Structure 1
Amino acid sequence: MIPLATRAAIDETIDCSMSRIRRRSIELGGGFEELGDAVGRAAMGGKRFRPALVAASFAAFGGELDEANTLYSVAAAFELLHTAFVVHDDVIDHDTIRRGIPNVAGEFRRRARDRGADAAGAATLGDAAAILAGDLLLHEASRLIALADVSPGVRAELFGLLDDAIYVSAAGELADVENAVMPDYAEAEAIFNATFNKTAVYSFSAPLCAGAVLAGAPAEAVAALDAEGGRLGLAFQLVDDLIGAFGSAEQAGRDEGGDLRESKRTPLIALARQTPSWSRVNDALAVAHTGPIAVREAQLALEESGARVRLRMLIDDTLAGVRSAADDPAFPADARPLIRDLADRVEERIP
């Protein structure tokens, strides 16, 4: 999507931010020094497609990638924003492992246990460390944009995008948790809204618009990109829901059928609730946590309910709308292939 040199420059900017966090943490010492190291590990690896979206959009709207030092800072900011959300999400989900190794919370739980804390104390320290790590990453993302070498007007637009990304994602996360803990299922519209808010803005709309703003795109083009980025983000998350229910362990990055084991109230389940087969699906989901055979039964029940087909049709319709909108006159010719390519990449992930 972007040249290797551009990707390397973005990676270097992220590394510089991590070095700064480590340097400040060393100055303050104690457990905070270990927190700085843990933040650096949390930011390592990953696909880093959000900063790639910033750079790809910048180029598509006429920006010169080889003359774009400011681009790297803004692109890195969206990666650090993502990392912050991931660290905070792990606290919300009570997860202590990510990518097969202890996450920030897991590292500090172990630190507490090694120093004699009981289980409750270890959990308290782990959660506190992860919350603070996410806070540091959010601050660093804001700092990168605040110090970017851009005009006051562009900086204001970039902060507006960051503001939307944080507020909308926070609203989606809270709604998602609320939907999960209540005894009654939320309406399908509420579940779809939470799904959109959790991912679409910060993962697609905001990075794409940030690149366009940096390239000097007109307001009408940025507005059109915002709309299509939102649809791409929704389709991306709906595909994630299919992967969480039907994808392979390799696709999901965890055991097959993880969403079914955890009884997640996703759009797929919301659609199943609208079918005559809901009673069977509900019964199968109730025992899906017991093992692979029960997971397979839940998958079969969802298949036979028609919910998987309906969700796939919704994804296909959403992506078709994005491809059609790529012909909007608001988009320059070089931006249209990018939008279609993103739709293709989302579709390729469908299990």
Structure 2
Amino acid sequence: MTGVLTDFAGTGVHEAVQDRLDAFFTDRISLATAYGDNYRLLWEAARSASQGGKMFRPALVVGVYRDFGGTDDDSALRIATAFELLHTAFLLHDDVIDRDLVRRGVPNLAGSFAADASARGATDAAAQTWGQASAILAGDLLIQAAQGFLARLSAPSAVRDALLDLFDRSIFVTAAGELADVAFSAGVRLPSLVDVMAMTEQKTASYSFEAPLKAGAILAGVDADVLTILGEFGRLVGVAFQLRDDQLGVFGDEKVTGKSVLNDLRNRKETPLIAHARSTPRWAQIEEALYDLETFDADGSTVRAALEECGARTFVDALIDDHVSRAESLLDNSHLPSVLVGHLRDVARHAVVRAA
């Protein structure tokens, strides 16, 4: 997908956003030094957490803005940087919620802080608390910083307010999706497929696709009907993207994704894979294996085979195809600039053809 995003946003966006992130973290690390080594180390770890990503949200912001004829690259890149900070914050929080200690193939912030505490003699419980608290605080700080990037944007007040409102709603909706995800996994509520699909939309599509696309358009000064089209396109592609992510979380290659293919199963994540499987005759076997992963199905192979055999993986493939098809049909009936339509088609197709 990297090549598609480069074609969309143009060369140099990844580097320009990274430069802004580096400047931001350098400033924060310098300021944090006055408050002790722990705080400085927290900011250094937050900077590390922001590195190595695909930066497709920044590319969506800048690509849409430029395709509508925008020329104020500094403002577009500032908004793009805000979305990357928000994404990093959500990853930090998500890892705590999912009890993941690895991200992108290396220890994440919670994992590295917990390991350091253990090396210093802390108990396992204390080390875990230290790691989780550090990641939560870092995520909170980055959300605040992302909002600050938008609040200080050099743009007309109406544009700045619209962007802040968009950002605020994106955070609000994403939190609703995350809460539902935890509730379903914890067994607080047994969800239907409709519930799981709504959670998928809220948790990922809002901040990863819908909001970045609309942000670039808002900065470009487009009409409300265009924002509606871009929002619906982003919702459809965002759901398809997360559906593929769910598949990779079970059937992916850990060496490529950098994440365990067992964590979603261990945490009993309620994804459309599981929601569909529950409606099939194989569910009793799948449920039994899920509850005995550590002893009965240590590598998850039994669950994966059963999910294949009951048609869950094929079912999700069909959902992905349907969402991408509907997104492309939406473009067929739009009056968006032809260059933007071409770029969005590429994004829709490549968002789901990936191994990581």
Q: Which has the higher contact order (CA 8 A, sep 6+)?
A: 2
From 25, 29, 35, the counterpart of 1:28: 35
Which residue number in structure 1 is paired with residue 69 of structure 2?
62
Sort the Cα spacing of 1:6 and 1:102 in 2 relative to 1 into closer, same or farther, 3 A: closer
CA contact (8 A) 2:105 2:258 kept: no
Residues 1:4 and 2:11 are matched in the alignment: yes
Which residue number in structure 2 is paired with residue 81 of structure 1?
86
May I ask how many residue pairs the two structures share in their alignment?
349
Specify every segment of 5 or more residues in structure 2 that has no aligned partner in the other structure, as ranges. none
Percent of aligned pairs with the same amino acid: 41
Residues 1:240 and 2:245 are matched in the alignment: yes
Q: Distance in 2 between matches of 1:262 and 1:347?
A: 24
CA contact (8 A) 1:58 1:214 kept: yes
Q: Distance in 1 between matches of 2:201 and 2:240?
A: 9
Q: Distance in 2 between matches of 1:3 and 1:30?
A: 40
- Between stretches 298-307 and 77-86, larger displacement belongs to 298-307
From 313, 317, 334, the counterpart of 2:318: 313
- Between stretches 313-322 and 10-19, larger displacement belongs to 10-19
Q: Distance in 1 between matches of 2:232 and 2:47?
A: 34
Which residue number in structure 1 is paired with residue 44 of structure 2?
37
Q: Distance in 2 between matches of 1:183 and 1:171?
A: 15
Which residue number in structure 1 is paired with residue 225 of structure 2?
220
Q: Distance in 2 between matches of 1:278 and 1:307?
A: 11
Structure 1 residues 329-348: aligned runs within 5 Å? 329-348=334-353
For 1:316, the aligned partner's letter is D
Q: Distance in 2 between matches of 1:285 and 1:69?
A: 49
Which residue number in structure 2 is paired with residue 168 of structure 1?
173
Structure 1 residues 247-266: aligned runs within 5 Å? 247-256=252-261, 258-266=263-271
For 2:326, the aligned partner's letter is G
Q: Distance in 2 between matches of 1:320 and 1:350?
A: 20
Instruction: Compute the TM-score of the two structures, normalised by the length of structure 1.
Output: 0.92
CA contact (8 A) 1:243 1:251 kept: no
| 3-state SS, counterpart of residue 46 of structure 1 | coil
CA contact (8 A) 1:238 1:311 kept: yes
Runs of 4+ in 1 over 6 A off after TM superposition: none
Q: CA deviation at 1:98?
A: 2.3
Q: CA deviation at 1:127?
A: 1.8
Specify every segment of 5 or more residues in structure 1 that has no aligned partner in the other structure, as ranges. none
Sort the Cα spacing of 1:15 and 1:196 in 2 relative to 1 into closer, same or farther, 3 A: same
For 1:59, the aligned partner's letter is R
Q: CA deviation at 1:116?
A: 4.0
Q: Distance in 1 between matches of 2:320 and 2:101?
A: 32
CA contact (8 A) 2:243 2:316 kept: yes
Structural RMSD (CA): 2.1
Instruction: Compute the TM-score of the two structures, normalised by the length of structure 2.
Output: 0.91
